[in-house]
Amino acid sequence: MTAARSAPALHDKVAIVTGGASGLGRATALALAEAGARVVVADLDARGGREVAEMVDGHFRACDVSDLEANRALVDFARQQYGGVDIAFLNAGVATGCGVGDDFDLARYRRAMGANLDGVVFGTHAVLPALRARGGGAIVATASLAGLAAVPLDPLYAANKHAVVGLARSLGPALARDNVRFNAVCPGFAESRIIDHLRDMLAEQELPIIPAELVADTVLRILTGDGTGECWFVQAGRDPEPFRFRRVPGPGKGYGV
């Protein structure tokens, strides 16, 4: 049984899904709707976003997540349509497309950091007042296995995804007083546009591509659980679960767990 079919806690909840026009966002929007949630789909791809919004009987809002005001406008739109917000899946992201050496490109770097990190920070900042107004809620951010391991072939992507992991681990306990849970999902090579430039390499190395639906199912497991500050890995051949950050040194009690 999928999480979508066994999540009565999501019935009539209002969810924002960024990067919802395709890939992981699309699959999660569909799963949320199947579980009874009301969904606002946000993306720069208006055509794809509207198609998904129609499929879930929800609403579409064009949004550049790297723009703080656009995030605030998205949350205002969701509140106008549904009266509030309970869930935010901050999923929008792009491939980096450059490194730190001769191939460094400032515009590509800014674009990647804007979508992959600013989009999570700005989205969280914008949605918190709406969640607090409902007495609490849940945020899930899309990180990556690249946020849990070294990625020599794409260090900048690893950098922004490590930042999302650090944000999730820190905001989980920080937002507990507001009854807001903050977690991250960390998929490997999952079916989405972001791996388009890697498909030939993945095929040559016989590396499996994770179905977007498996990631969506994991997001719903996170949303219907009670954990916070967790970073759930999703990898082929293994059951998704929170990654255990063991033996990390810290300055004192309460750190380094």
CB neighbourhood size of 215 (10 A): 27
109 is catalytic: no
Give me the pLDDT at residue 1, please.
42
Give me the pLDDT at residue 2, please.
55
Give me the pLDDT at residue 193, please.
72
Cβ(181)–Cβ(138) under 8 Å?
A: yes
| Stretches in the chain below the pLDDT threshold 70 | 1-6, 189-192, 194-196, 198-207, 252-257
Q: How far apart are CA 36 and CA 40, in angstroms?
A: 13
Q: Out of 82, 109, 157, 255, pick the active-site residue.
A: 157
Give me the pLDDT at residue 253, please.
60
Question: What is the model's pTM?
Answer: 0.92
Q: How far apart are CA 237 and CA 254, in angstroms?
A: 33
